[in-house]
Every structure is written in C-alpha cells, then in structure tokens.
C-alpha cells in the first residue's frame, strides 16, 4: 500500500469514527424518554441498598462489553453456546445481568422500545459510581445493540487478572486508550469483590516457584491464605478488592498498591513492576483523589465511545438477553 493511500485510509477511518461518535448526545432521550436517568437511578439505588457489589458488577459489564466489538450490549446476549460472551473465560461468574434486566423492565414500562441495553450499561455505571461516593459525569446516549456476540474476541481482548503492564498495555492501546486509561480504569477495583480463583495463584505457588508472590504484604498474605486456604473449596468464596474502604469509590485502591496490598496480580503489578511507567500514575492518584476522579471520568467517557453502533446500525432490544 502506498503512503498516500495509507494516509487516506486512516483519515477515512477517523472520519467514520468521528461521525459515529457525533451521534452520541447527552440529550438523545430528552423527547423520547425524558425520565431515563431517574428511572435507572431508582433501580440502582434500590439494588445497591441490598447488594453493595451492584455498582461494581455493572461497571465490569460495561467495561467487558465495550472491549468486545465496542459498546453494543453484546455481553448481555444469551445466544447459542458457540457465541455467547457470557461463557468466555473473562466473563465466567460475572454478575449484574439481573440488575440490567430490572432496569430494562422499568424502562420498557415507561418508554417501550426506546432505550438501548448498551446505554443502560453506560448510565448505570455512572450512577453506580456516584452512589458509592465517587464522581459523576455527563453520560452520552444513542448507542444501539448488536445482533450478535463475539466469544472469541471476549477471550482475546478482555484483560485477565493475571497480567503484567506489558501484556495489558496493548489491550488498551488497541482500543484507542493509553497508560493513563489503564491505571484509571483499574481504579474501579476500589469497590467490589473478587473470587479466590482470580488471585489464589499468588498465595502459595506463584509462577511455579513453590512460594507466594513476593510482592504481597506479609500480613495481607496471611489474611488471604485464611480466606482462600490451599486445596480448599474456594470456588464461591469472595473477598474485597479494596481492604480499607471496600464499598466506597475513592483512591484507597492506589495507596493499597503502595502498601503491597493489591488483591489481583494485575493490580499490584501496576506499582511493583520495576521501571513501569504506571508507577508514577499510581503515585499521582494515591496522592490526589481529585486527580484520580478527573482522569477516571475522562477515561469512562472515552470507554463509552469505543465503536458504538448508532443510527440505522443495530437495534433497540426489548429484552437485553436476546435480539428482537
């Protein structure tokens, strides 16, 4: 391909992306479903009162959705066993689908066939963070839902809890995000829980060494070994991602990393990987919750803009679990 043709192709793709994003708007539902925000907030508030993990569950679904074919609600589909993203390795055990169903039912009762499932994930993520004392931001709307899922891309493009920054970085840059986004998005682990299976490889035989991960604080290690004993039946055992303020959205996640108390390997590696550019960002957020909140908001807006289906593309599902 000639250089001029290459440049022309890039400019064309940029123009298509910009045109697609231009269709997302904060006022998209003003005439068709003006109460969309209050309806979603009502459901999220009720669910978060009985399940402290509600906000964390929803924001995880939003992130995992947008990293596969863009923000199109594909993660919510119950399709045949060869395609459903719910059965992809990074999504096994994911929660929050019932919360989405409750929100969709509430919206369908007021403005049927109007609000997309992808927009529900975006809005409910913002509300879930705000309800946990985190930042608020203006959510843009207008995404449509996909007609298919992509299980293979879910397996390849969603970060696992066992990776280093070197592995994580290209997964983000491939989506138009950078190191700041990587660290800011990881900060969503300031609330929610994780199963033993996502971190117990650090507790007893890290990387086949026969010893625990040396980056785990000794006291924290003993606590985790008690929660997830070696050889125990730990499949449904959870513990807090943030040991200090587990239900609050704040910057304690980053001070935990400085203290070698990050739960997941991918979390602690952001601070403990020698020479990584992520260390400075962790230190910046640990020292300034305002800076973390500002960057997190910018990153969430960027996340919600990954390849949305808009206009005549896709559909508005009446049931988020299946195509119309």
Show which residues are catalytic: 64
Ligand-binding annotation for 190, yes or no, is: yes
Rounded CA gap, 221 and 5, in Å? Answer: 56
C-beta of residue 135 within 8 angstroms of C-beta of residue 293? yes
* Eight-class DSSP state of 319: B
Ligand-binding annotation for 181, yes or no, is: no
Rounded CA gap, 314 and 293, in Å? Answer: 33
Ligand-binding annotation for 159, yes or no, is: yes
CA-based nearest residue to 59, from 236, 192, 161: 192
Ligand-binding annotation for 62, yes or no, is: no
Ligand-binding annotation for 242, yes or no, is: yes
The secondary structure element, H or E, covering residue 183 is helix 179-186
Ligand-binding annotation for 70, yes or no, is: yes
CA-CA-CA-CA torsion sign (58, 61, 67, 71)? negative
Ligand-binding annotation for 68, yes or no, is: yes
- The three-class DSSP label of residue 52 is coil
CA distances from 250 to 135, 140, 294 (A): 9, 24, 12
Helices (H) and strands (E) in the chain, counts: 13, 2
Ligand-binding annotation for 245, yes or no, is: yes
Q: Based on C-alpha coordinates, what's the Rg of the chain?
A: 20
The length of the chain, given as a count of residues: 324
Ligand-binding annotation for 85, yes or no, is: yes
Any residues with CB less than 8 A from the CB of 180 and at least 6 apart, and which? 281, 295, 299
- The three-class DSSP label of residue 239 is strand
Rounded CA gap, 253 and 242, in Å? Answer: 6
Residues annotated in the binding site for Ca(2+), as ranges?
A: 65, 68, 70, 72, 74, 85, 190, 242, 245, 250
Residues annotated in the binding site, as ranges?
A: 65, 68, 70, 72, 74, 85, 159, 189-190, 242, 245, 250
């Amino acid at each position: 391909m000639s250089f001029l043709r290459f440049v022309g192709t890039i400019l064309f793709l940029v123009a298509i992306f910009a045109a697609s994003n231009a269709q997302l708007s904060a006022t998209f539902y003003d005439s068709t479903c003006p109460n969309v925000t209050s309806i979603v907030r009502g459901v999220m508030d009720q669910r978060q009162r009985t399940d402290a993990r509600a906000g964390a569950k929803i924001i995880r679904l939003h992130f995992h959705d947008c990293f596969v074919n863009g923000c199109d609600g594909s993660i919510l589909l119950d399709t045949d066993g060869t395609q459903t993203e719910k059965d992809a390795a990074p999504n096994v055990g994911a929660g929050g689908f019932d919360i989405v169903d409750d929100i969709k039912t509430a919206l369908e009762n007021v403005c049927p066939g109007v609000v997309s499932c992808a927009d529900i994930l975006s809005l409910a993520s913002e509300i879930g963070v705000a309800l946990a004392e985190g930042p608020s931001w203006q959510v843009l709307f207008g995404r449509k839902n996909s007609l298919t899922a992509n299980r293979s891309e879910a397996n390849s493009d969603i970060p696992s809890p066992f990776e280093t920054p070197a592995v994580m970085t290209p997964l983000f840059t491939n989506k138009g995000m950078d190191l700041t986004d990587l660290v800011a998005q990881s900060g969503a682990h300031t609330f929610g829980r994780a199963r033993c299976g996502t971190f117990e490889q650090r507790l007893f035989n890290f990387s086949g060494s026969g010893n625990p991960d040396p980056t785990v604080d000794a006291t924290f290690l003993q606590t985790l070994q008690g929660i997830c004993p070696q050889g125990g039946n730990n499949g449904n055992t959870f513990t807090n991602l943030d040991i200090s303020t587990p239900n609050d959205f704040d910057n304690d996640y980053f001070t935990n990393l400085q203290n070698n108390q990050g739960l997941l390997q991918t979390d602690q590696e952001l601070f403990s990987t020698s020479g990584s550019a992520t260390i400075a960002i962790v230190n910046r957020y640990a020292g300034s919750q305002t800076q973390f909140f500002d960057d997190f908001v910018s990153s969430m807006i960027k996340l919600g803009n990954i390849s949305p289906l808009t206009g005549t593309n896709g559909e508005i599902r009446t049931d988020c679990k299946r195509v119309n």
